[in-house]
Structure 1
Amino acid sequence: MVCVSCLTCMNVCQNTDMSQGGVGIDLETSLGYLLKEASSALRQAMEAVLRPLEMTVTHYSCLELLAQRPGLSNSELARGAFVTRQSMNVLLQSLERGGDVSRSAEPPVGKVRPTRLTPQGRRSLAKATAAVRSVEVRMLGGMTPADQSAAFTILQSMIHSLRNENESA
């Protein structure tokens, strides 16, 4: 059961008696809410270290994706960076004008214009990666290697469970 107050974070309501004006979930014990809060804190910390580099998290994500998978399309980059195709298209145009990426003027096949990092884009990415890595190190600072491994496994399991649920719906 999902209550109206839970729709913003898509948590399953812990309070099954919403007819009595229940508030939905207890935010203090909601794992979904805690994950959203952690995600928000991580994004804020990343934005703070990327801002001096004149970069956003989406900008950094796009460069990182292209370094790992050269030639991705606009749609593939949008999915990987968790933004709309339209937002990614605007970003790619800006990155292309700024010299961080290159795209062929004509698509080699169909409508897809593969994108690649330029040498300048690789230099920008190297600086951003160091900044983002410092945030991740800070985030994991209070965890043992075993805790980190367990957290990684648990988060992967959650993602897998949610994606499988969405595919079967």
Structure 2
Amino acid sequence: MDTTDHIMWLLKQAAHSTRQAVNSAIRSHGVTTEQLGVLKRLADTPGLSGADLARRLLITPQAVQLALATLERRSLIERKPDANHGRILRSYLTEEGLRVSTDCHVDALTCEEELLDVFDAAEQEMLREFLRRLVERAPAEDDAVEG
């Protein structure tokens, strides 16, 4: 089998190309896909910490901190010390942050629909099911680190 036909390589390429497409779709809002992920999670669950966001977004704490700093500079979020743990900063969307999050999310979903229209509805559902099964089968992150 040609190495370019390996399923994991194709998954990586698909993830990369779809991320680029979504980045292009939301570029006019001045945010990246990572920043949109932060905004969306904060819209759904206000007050998350950087560590919470990193776990939920499957990105490094450093990437989250960079995204938070950029969003805070743009006044899309505000960070406040945790009432019980002063060193933990909780993040909240501003009104402008909520507007940008909503607008970006619409554009990202439109992009997703355009990308996936190569599949009919049944194929899209099959793809979802295949990916869910793959995710469920993969070892937990803690398991993968142990040896």
Alignment of 1:16-165 (within 5 A): 26-104=2-80, 106-110=81-85, 111-164=87-140
Alpha-carbon offset, residue 78 of structure 1: 1.8
Gapped runs of 5+ residues in structure 2? none
TM-score, scaled to structure 2: 0.87
> RMSD of the alignment, in Å?
1.9
Question: Any gaps of 5 or more consecutive residues in structure 1?
Answer: 1-24
User: Counterpart of 1:133 in structure 2: which amino acid?
Assistant: L
List structure 1 segments (4+ residues) > 4 angstroms apart after TM superposition.
Answer: none
Alpha-carbon distance change, 67 to 29 in structure 1, aligned in 2, over 3 angstroms? same
- What residue identity is the alignment partner of 2:6? S
How far 1:56 moved relative to its partner? 0.7
Q: Distance in 2 between matches of 1:97 and 1:146?
A: 44
Measured in 1, the distance between the counterparts of 2:10 and 2:143 equals 25
How many angstroms apart in 2 are the aligned matches of 1:152 and 1:112?
A: 36
Q: In the aligned structure 2, how far is the partner of 1:62 from the partner of 1:68?
A: 10
Which gives a bigger RCO, structure 1 or 2 (Cα 8 Å, sep 6+)? 2
TM-score normalized with structure 1 length? 0.77
Bigger helix share: 2
